[in-house]
Amino acid sequence: DSGVTQTPKHLITATGQRVTLRCSPRSGDLSVYWYQQSLDQGLQFLIQYYNGEERAKGNILERFSAQQFPDLHSELNLSSLELGDSALYFCASSVSGTLAGNTIYFGEGSWLTVV
């Protein structure tokens, strides 16, 4: 158990809909990262938050947004869903904003299926 909690574990929704994925980082970790893992691709970095502020942005679509709350949990909002958004969405956390000497700890992921 990494200490990172993600909900829901599985989600099936229709095209055009909107979903929210939730993540609680490990106790004491200030950074939260969101990743997308599609069947035919490696881990794609979406966005990072550090202590409530956006720190880095990756290949995140405009239809997607995220935030980190004062209690450090984070939400990833996916809207106007398309079939291609079906993927495993990972949340990860780390103690600081830099990964030079620190590892990140992954949650078990949220499987999103868009039908």
- The vertex-65 CA angle with 102 and 68, nearest 5°, equals 50
Provide, rounded to whole angstroms, the least separation between the CB of residue 18 and another protein: 25
DSSP state of 100: S
Provide, rounded to whole angstroms, the least separation between the CB of residue 100 and another protein: 5
Q: In this structure, what are the phi and psi dihedrals at residue 96, rounded to the nearest 5 degrees? A: -125, -175
Among 51, 99, 113, 115, binds another protein (CB under 8 A): 99
Q: Which is nearer to another protein, 64 or 105 (CB)?
A: 105
Any bridge partners for residue 6, and if so which? 23
Q: Is 108 in the site for another protein (CB under 8 A)?
A: yes
Peptide bond into 8 cis (omega under 30): yes
Q: Is residue 32 within 8 Å of residue 92, measured between CB atoms?
A: yes
List the interface residues with another protein, window 6-65 (CB under 8 A).
Answer: 41-45, 48, 55-56, 58
Footprint on this chain of another protein (rule: CB under 8 A): 2, 4, 41-45, 48, 55-56, 58, 90, 97-109
